[in-house]
């Protein structure tokens, strides 16, 4: 999420990460997962009549897990 602009989500290969982390996150599947998370965050924000920044990552992860999406495991 951009720090100085509200109601804007950025997903895909245009994310912030360390050099080492970026090498493993620029693959297509990871970019798709970030897009899915951004869309989920937006849907939750619209439903709650909030900005996406107000939703919080925990809520997004819970929603994705409930759908069977995301890189979640039981361990």
- Cα 6 to Cα 9, 42, 47, 56: the distances in Å are 9, 12, 17, 14
Residue 26 confidence (pLDDT): 65
Minimum mean pLDDT range among 27-31, 54-58, 64-68: 27-31
Quick check: 74 pLDDT over 60? no
Domain limits, the chain: 1-75
Residue with tokens 């994310």: 15
Q: What pLDDT, in 10s, does the model give residues 6-47?
A: 788 877 666 677 877 777 766 677 778 888 999 999 999 999
Residues 52 and 71: beta-carbon distance below 8 Å: no
């Amino acid at each position: 999420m951009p720090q100085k602009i509200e109601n804007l989500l950025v997903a895909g290969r245009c994310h912030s990460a360390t050099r080492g982390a970026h090498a493993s996150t620029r693959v297509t599947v990871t970019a798709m997962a970030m897009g899915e998370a951004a869309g989920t965050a937006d849907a939750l924000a619209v439903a709650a009549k909030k900005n996406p920044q107000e939703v919080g990552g925990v809520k997004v992860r819970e929603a994705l897990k409930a759908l069977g999406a995301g890189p979640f495991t039981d361990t």
